Amino acid sequence: MPAACCTIESPVGPLTITAADGAITGIDFGLGGGPRPNGVLLAEAAHQLTEYFAGTLREFTLPLAPTGTAFRLKVWAAMQAIPYGQTRSYGDLARALDSAPRAVGGACGANPIPLVIPCHRVVGAGGTLGGFSGGAGCDTKRQLLALERALPPQLPV
């Protein structure tokens, strides 16, 4: 089955959701796709993202099929285990995966399904923001962490 996509508006700008073979394969910031969700899966993804931004959804229940190396898949799985409203540092994930913080950061930056795989919940050492490759970069990360009330104290909105 060929990939299908749709674009929805969100508080962090347009989001393009891509699905193939019954699973979400990507979420991109600011790209254009089909104007409306076409099909049950894209409609459900759009609905869950809308509920997330409304503050009423804390855990996504979408089938996912991210494409990446074995290491990146492990990092993305570890990110999915970070609860809503909490953060972990790159170092925390690196220790859990017997890796290095820089490698974890690289996997975060390559995350094909941001928000649902919550790379925004990974912060730098000592609660510093770290980086973010989606939307408006660190401003978008701050906005997402503020939505979840997960901003470390030294990172005001």
The pLDDT, as a whole number, for residue 125 is: 86
pLDDT band at 157 (very low <50, low <70, confident <90, very high): very low
Domains of the chain and any CATH numbers: 4-54 (3.30.160), 70-147 (1.10.10.10)
Which pLDDT tens digit goes with each residue over 71-96?
999 999 999 999 999 999 999 999 99
Asked whether residue 15 carries a pLDDT value surpassing 90, the answer given is yes
Closest to 104 (Cα-Cα) out of 135, 125, 126: 125
Angle formed by the axes of helices 101-109 and 90-97, nearest 10°: 110
Query: Cβ(136)–Cβ(126) under 8 Å?
Result: no
Kindly report the three-state secondary structure assignment for every residue of 136-151.
Answer: CCHHHHHHHHHHCCCC
Residues 5, 108, 119, 138: which is the catalytic one?
119
Mean pLDDT of the chain: 90
pLDDT band at 130 (very low <50, low <70, confident <90, very high): confident
Q: Annotated catalytic, 119?
A: yes
How far is residue 157's CA from residue 147's CA, in Å, rounded to a whole number? 10
How far is residue 128's CA from residue 151's CA, in Å, rounded to a whole number? 10
Residues with Cβ within 8 Å of residue 70, at least 6 apart in sequence: none
Residues with Cβ within 8 Å of residue 26, at least 6 apart in sequence: 5, 16, 17, 18, 112, 113
Lowest mean pLDDT among 3-7, 34-38, 64-68, 101-105: 34-38
How far is residue 89's CA from residue 100's CA, in Å, rounded to a whole number? 11
Mean pLDDT across the stretch 45-54? 96
Mean pLDDT across the stretch 40-59? 96
